[in-house]
């Protein structure tokens, strides 16, 4: 099959050789990330429901989750949530089959509650959250795309991915994962709402970290200051272990100790006090926000993992790019992949698949062109593997 795969040499400076780079990651507790996580957890719950009853995943898209921040009064030693956070689960789903109504809303609510309880340990889901589900029946034409023997794209959209990560991108990603991972046991005062912004100018990397503190675990100002200093020391050590460049770490730069301004929260989450969240406004499918790289504005979380190319292609392109860099050895410095679909056409037969390669000095494109085409062709031919990885939770979509 001719899958419209095009390979060309990219006329661009490799990211590591650019003068400036900006990278951002919103942590698991950021309102936008929570919205993504809820949308994806609901999608997976619906996938499980459909497979249990019909041995197949039916049409759904739950990628419109909205979070309206609450109100709180944090203080050293422990404050109070004054008004609950409002969460609206929105989207479309197959709600009945052959006249049998499905418990899709109860499954969605349960999945959302389980997600919040798992990833927001300081949040009282019963008291501090209002969960509302308004998921409704999907449109007939989109649902009909599921009824054909061949999987057809249910949107005209594109996906984009690249490999490998730069040092700055790796440090940005791993910094947040460290805070919301191994450091939780050692520095429990730090909540889940974390944002990391990295700016590299030549060989100087500056990490600006916003980290919400859990007020009941911070008795006073001096303790707060010591936590910030300990966190800074740990993050700097971790970053320096991944680069020979100069690194500086700034934490909670909005604080003003003299004026009594501290990043304190009751729940470790900023959405307790006014911060709202929406699906698709945070990390891209690779877990980062990268203004110096090509990106898709498509919301990946919550879209169905069977025919929605806005989801499938954004993950597929990452896999293709990564594998091309591997097979290219040292000859391929960077791979950029973009795939575009047409609604109603087979998902394994895109309108175009563009592969742009940044080659090492002296390395000819002809040496890897056929291998790059083969990698893309194989992944497209086996695109259902992406569905399996998504449903099983083996890949993150944000």
Q: Are 173 and 216 in contact (CB under 8 A)?
A: no
What is the per-residue pLDDT for 342?
94
For residue 98, is it left (φ>0), alpha (ψ between -120 and 50) or beta? left
* Cα–Cα distance for residue pair 300/394, rounded to 1 Å: 15
Q: What is the pLDDT of residues 352-388, one digit of tens each?
A: 999 999 999 999 999 999 999 999 999 999 999 999 9
**Which range, of 94-108, 165-179, 318-332, averages the lowest pLDDT?**
94-108
Task: Return the DSSP state at 273.
Answer: G
Predicted confidence band at 274 (pLDDT cuts at 50, 70, 90)? confident
What is the per-residue pLDDT for 200?
98
Please compute, for residue 85, the number of CA atoms within 13 A of its CA located in the half-sphere on the CB side. 29
What is the per-residue pLDDT for 149?
56
* Cα–Cα distance for residue pair 309/314, rounded to 1 Å: 8
What is the per-residue pLDDT for 374?
97
Select from 93, 102, 107, 88 the least CA-distant residue to 136: 93
What is the per-residue pLDDT for 144?
58
Predicted confidence band at 137 (pLDDT cuts at 50, 70, 90)? confident
% of residues, the chain, pLDDT over 90:
92
Q: Is the pLDDT of residue 142 over 60?
A: no
Please compute, for residue 228, the number of CA atoms within 13 A of its CA located in the half-sphere on the CB side. 23
Q: What is the DSSP string of 24-70?
A: EEE-TTSHHHHHHHHHHHHHHHHHHHHHHHHSSPPPEE-TT-EEE--
Sign of the CA dihedral 338, 20, 239, 291?
negative
Predicted confidence band at 310 (pLDDT cuts at 50, 70, 90)? very high
Q: What is the pLDDT of residues 199-238, one digit of tens each?
A: 999 999 999 999 999 999 999 999 999 999 999 999 999 9
For tokens 């002296």, the residue is 362
Q: Is the pLDDT of residue 345 over 70?
A: yes
Domains present along the chain, CATH in parentheses: 5-13+156-164+281-392 (3.30.300.280), 31-147 (3.30.300.10), 167-278 (3.30.300.340)
Predicted confidence band at 34 (pLDDT cuts at 50, 70, 90)? very high
What is the per-residue pLDDT for 100?
86
Q: Is the pLDDT of residue 147 over 90?
A: no
Average pLDDT, stretch 291-308?
A: 95
Q: Is the pLDDT of residue 24 over 70?
A: yes
Q: At what angle do helices 31-54 and 104-119 cross, to 10 degrees?
A: 140
Q: Is the pLDDT of residue 390 over 60?
A: yes
Provide the H-helix boundaries in the chain.
31-54, 104-119, 125-128, 140-144, 167-179, 183-186, 221-240, 309-328, 369-381, 384-392
What is the per-residue pLDDT for 150?
72
Q: Is the pLDDT of residue 148 over 60?
A: no
What is the per-residue pLDDT for 139?
54
Predicted confidence band at 2 (pLDDT cuts at 50, 70, 90)? confident
What is the per-residue pLDDT for 210?
98
What is the per-residue pLDDT for 99?
84
Q: Is the pLDDT of residue 172 over 90?
A: yes
């Amino acid at each position: 099959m001719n899958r419209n795969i095009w390979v060309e040499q990219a006329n661009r400076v490799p990211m590591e050789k650019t003068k400036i780079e900006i990278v951002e990651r919103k942590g698991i507790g950021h309102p936008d990330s929570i919205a993504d996580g809820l949308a994806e957890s609901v999608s997976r719950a619906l996938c499980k429901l459909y497979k249990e009853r019909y041995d197949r995943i039916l049409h759904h898209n739950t990628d419109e989750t909205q979070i309206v921040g609450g109100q709180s009064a944090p203080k050293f030693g422990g404050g109070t949530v004054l008004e609950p956070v409002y969460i609206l689960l929105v989207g479309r789903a197959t709600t009945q089959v052959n006249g049998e109504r499905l418990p899709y809303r109860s499954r969605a609510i349960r999945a959302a509650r389980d997600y919040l309880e798992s990833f927001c340990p300081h949040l009282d889901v019963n008291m501090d959250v209002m969960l509302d589900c308004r998921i409704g029946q999907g449109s007939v034409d989109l649902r009909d795309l599921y009824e054909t023997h061949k999987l057809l794209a249910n949107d005209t959209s594109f996906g984009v991915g690249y490999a490998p990560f730069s040092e700055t991108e790796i440090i940005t990603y791993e910094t947040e994962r460290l805070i919301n991972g191994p450091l939780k046991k050692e520095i429990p005062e730090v909540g889940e709402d974390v944002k990391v912004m990295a700016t590299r100018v030549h060989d100087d990397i500056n990490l600006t970290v916003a980290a919400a503190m859990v007020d009941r675990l911070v008795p006073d100002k001096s303790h707060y200051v010591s936590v910030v200093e300990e966190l800074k020391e740990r993050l700097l050590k971790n970053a320096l272990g991944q680069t020979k460049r100069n690194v500086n770490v700034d934490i909670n730069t909005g604080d003003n100790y003299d004026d009594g301004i501290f990043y304190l929260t009751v729940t470790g989450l900023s959405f307790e006090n006014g911060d709202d969240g929406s699906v698709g406004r945070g990390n891209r499918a690779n877990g980062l926000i990268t203004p110096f790289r090509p990106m898709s504005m498509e919301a990946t979380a919550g879209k169905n993992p069977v025919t929605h190319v806005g989801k499938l292609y954004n993950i597929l392109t990452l896999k293709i790019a990564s594998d091309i860099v591997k097979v290219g050895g040292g000859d391929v410095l960077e791979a950029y992949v973009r795939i575009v679909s047409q609604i109603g056409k087979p998902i394994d037969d895109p309108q175009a698949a563009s592969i742009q390669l940044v080659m090492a000095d002296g390395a000819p494109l002809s040496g890897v062109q056929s291998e790059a085409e083969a990698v893309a062709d194989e992944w497209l031919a086996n695109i259902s593997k992406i569905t399996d990885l998504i449903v099983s939770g083996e890949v993150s979509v944000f």
